[in-house]
Amino acid sequence: MASPQRTALITGCSKGSAGEAHALEWASRGLRVFATARSLKSIQHLEEKGIEVLTLDVTSTESIAALREEITKRTGGKLDILFNNAGVMYEAPAIEEDDKAVRQMYNANVFGLFDMVKAFTPLLMVAKPDPSQPPTIINVASILAVMPYIFSASYNASKAAVASYSDTLRVELAPLGIKVVTLYMGIVGTGLFKMDAMNLPADSLYFDFVPAWRKRGEDHAKSGMKPADFAKGVADAVLKGSALGRGEYMWKGAKSTLVWALHAFGWRKIFDSTTESEMGWNDAKLKRSLAEKKEQAVAKKG
């Protein structure tokens, strides 16, 4: 028999993450929450709040299938909310990226999300078709999907893929009574920006930009919205605009409103000047260094 209590499955809920904040927020509103992460140890503390914790590796179809079987057993085969929050960030200059790292990121951010949707949509179709609170999928994209955030080309593209997929999914699932929300996540203080990973080999064309890169990460970490505030804003928006056709595009987190406005009104060149300024792109000394490294690289090829 299907559970009468509304249920939510949230991926990527490790300690300190936005997923953790979402799990706590939805649980506080009376939903039965299933929080997942690759390591059970990283989410065990959520049990104290009445949240059910389960392991999940979104890059593994076997792990997803096992989770679907377990959720089916616990809920009687239905799910009200699928919150695809899990994801990773890999940064590097586009022409110097590590291919393996990029593919791993896409497996988590893009293909893992695709697989979660396919696996759990049948459970969403079983949920009560309430027009005011329809079964819902929330897919986490990013404001970086629409702006040229330097040294993050592949991550930006992965989130743009999520946004495009989610928008089409919205139309395809509407006749089935399932709502799809695309969440353009702004800057949130979750530790997504890892300073120790912001490094380049000495022979990189962009080596001299590393200090500016790290400072950008530090500044964004400080200016990020608190995860709890972010989660509250998302939950408020989903519940207030819960009916089909409302709240299907959501911009939440620090700088999200500004990015939405610049993107919506076509003032995209402002993105260039902003991200270039953060990275010292027009600093005469750094530009000269980049030009010299380019000449050295060309000479080696010759």
Round to whole Å and give the CA distance between 267 and 34: 41
- First-last CA distance in the chain: 72
Contact in structure between 126 and 2 (CB atoms under 8 Å): yes
Could you tell me the strand order of the sheet in which 52-55 lies?
A: 52-55, 32-37, 7-10, 81-84, 136-142, 179-185, 249-252
Bridge partners, residue 188, by sequence: 225
How many whole angstroms from its chain centre is CA 17? 11
Q: Are 205 and 186 in contact (CB under 8 A)?
A: no
Residue 90 bears catalytic tag: no
159 part of the active site: yes
> What span, in angstroms and rounded, lies between the C-alpha atoms of 46 and 106?
28
User: From the candidates 106, 155, 165, 184, which is the catalytic residue?
Assistant: 155
157 vs 142: CA distance, rounded Å: 10
Three-class secondary structure of residue 285 per DSSP: helix
Determine which one of 106, 149, 159, 252 is catalytic: 159
- Dihedral angle over CA of 132, 130, 166, 228, nearest 10: 60
**Could you give the C-alpha distances from 115 to 118, 119, 196, 225, 229, in angstroms and in order?**
5, 6, 31, 30, 29
Q: Enumerate the active-site residues.
A: 155, 159
